[in-house]
Amino acid sequence: MKASPRKWQSQCIEIALEHYTTTPHFFCQATPGAGKTRMAAELARRLLGQGKIDLVLCFAPSCQVVDGFRSTFATVLGRRLDGLIGAVGAASTYQSMEHQDEAFWRLFDDYRVFAVFDEIHHCSGYDPVLSNAWGQQILLKMQDRAAFTLALSGTPWRSDDRGIALARYSNPEGRLICDYRYGLKEAIFDGVCRSPRIVLLDNQMLRLKEDFANDSTVKFFPSIAKLLRESPVSYEDLLFHEDALSQLLDLGSKKLDEVRMLKPNAAGLVVATNIDHAHQVALALKSRGESFQVVTTRTPDAQQVINRFKNSDCRWIVAVGMISEGTDIPRLQVCCYLSRIRTELHYRQVLGRVLRRMGDIDDQAWLFVLAEPTLRRFSQRIADDLPDDLAVVCTVSAPKFEPCSIEGEDLFAQALPGEPGNSPHVTTMQKFSSQVDLDPVSTYQISFSKNYRQQLLAVF
């Protein structure tokens, strides 16, 4: 039996239907994990039932999210969304828009099309000149030809401060105007999303030994922030460090044990930096006797691996560039954030993977992260669904034409082992002098003391 829409979904649908009587474009911001796809499917069902549309075309940033759209829409509409004969429409990636033939674009002239755009922040530009390739396709080929459009986003801003396609902004402030907003606070109060618990891991005595050709120095630092600020050590170095990795995984495993006492099939997500790092994490989990799956951009049949994990009892999934947004695995309840990507967009999207609630007892989500200053700041801002300093479009000059990549994804994180940007890190690292005559190589070693400390941020 099909479940009824949630209260927020029904409310959004009624507002959208009323909105469509005067304008064809509707923008919905709902916190990650709230059920935007289901709301979109229910809205499509209502429009079809009212005889206002003929076809539904959905676009999303990844194949994983597209598969989720096809499944959810088929369940709600009772009709396929696979683009084959007899289907009510199709779902495809934004990237595929550039490869559609003229017959596809004629659908917008021959039929009344309801166009749905998931995670619309990937498509920049409210002006074709200031757009990326995906935004340009929407503005030039669909904006004025679709019967209705629905733009969805859990994090409606971009790291480059550009406007979002199909979005409206206030004048002169440049603030994003949402036709409907459903925030994290409301979602937690309604029992739709879990309440996030973010644990920042720090160390009170970090030892750095740096060896030169004829000399060596030893320095001590009272925090990760001070180490990163006053030494050559990078945040990425710490992510690969066995001690830091071990401590974070220990915390995550212990919390997952506690969660599974109430919810036996609960699972954890580790977001790794690149493929080598993912295998390092996998070895660490294996040494603990943990069950796990590894999925990266190079994993054969990655979607099938994710689907098997979704319906299994496996404890952990280690991911690189695959489960940052949109992927629906409700049993994920614990996450270790070990990605080198430090944008607020990506960080919030990852947190969203553990927020989707399944029942009455799974009311908390846990995120474990190193106390790096930028990530600490992001963590303290989670309660603010639409930060004032992010949901603003700055005045910019016309950029060069921008190819499209997944907004917030680190392309180096998808490199194969042995490729540039993917060399393994070990506790001992090499640092070349920046002087012109290239001084001899120095090496440095980081040691973590046993004096770890944790800061718990309970958002609500």
Amino acid identity at 326: G
Neighbour-count burial of 317, counting CB atoms closer than 10 A to its CB (0-12 exposed, 13-18 middle, 19+ buried): buried
Neighbour-count burial of 321, counting CB atoms closer than 10 A to its CB (0-12 exposed, 13-18 middle, 19+ buried): buried
The two domains 7-182 and 195-393+417-458 share their CATH topology (first three levels equal): yes
**Please, which residues have CB within 8 angstroms of residue 78's CB and are 6 or more apart in sequence?**
none
Cα pseudo-dihedral 272, 276, 278, 281, rounded to 10 = -110
Three-state DSSP class for residue 338: coil
Token code pair at residue 370: 């190193």
The residue extents of the domains of the chain are 7-182, 195-393+417-458
Q: How many CB atoms lie within 10 A of CB 358?
A: 13
Token code pair at residue 116: 């749905």
Return the pLDDT at 62. 87
Sign of the torsion formed by the C-alpha atoms of 366, 331, 288 and 270: negative
Task: Please state, in angstroms and rounded to a whole number, the distance separating the CA atoms of residues 153 and 65.
Answer: 13
Neighbour-count burial of 89, counting CB atoms closer than 10 A to its CB (0-12 exposed, 13-18 middle, 19+ buried): buried
Cβ atoms of 114 and 53 closer than 8 Å: yes
The pTM of this model reads 0.83
Task: Please state, in angstroms and rounded to a whole number, the distance separating the CA atoms of residues 82 and 78.
Answer: 12
Chain segment 257-312, per-residue pLDDT in tens: 999 999 999 999 999 999 999 999 999 999 999 999 999 988 888 888 998 999 99
Q: Domain 7-182, what fold?
A: Rossmann fold (3.40.50)
Cβ atoms of 169 and 175 closer than 8 Å: yes
Return the pLDDT at 172. 74
Give every residue of the chain whose pLDDT is below 70, as ranges: 1-2, 126, 213, 324-326, 385-442, 459-460
Q: How many helices and strands, by DSSP H and E, does the chain display?
A: 13, 19
Task: Please state, in angstroms and rounded to a whole number, the distance separating the CA atoms of residues 9 and 29.
Answer: 12
Return the pLDDT at 438. 28
Residue appearing with tokens 């990795």: 245
Task: Please state, in angstroms and rounded to a whole number, the distance separating the CA atoms of residues 128 and 125.
Answer: 6
Task: Please state, in angstroms and rounded to a whole number, the distance separating the CA atoms of residues 307 and 74.
Answer: 17
Return the pLDDT at 69. 95
Q: C-alpha distances in angstroms, 7 versus 17, 186, 217?
A: 16, 11, 62
CATH no., domain 195-393+417-458 = 3.40.50.300
Return the pLDDT at 1. 59
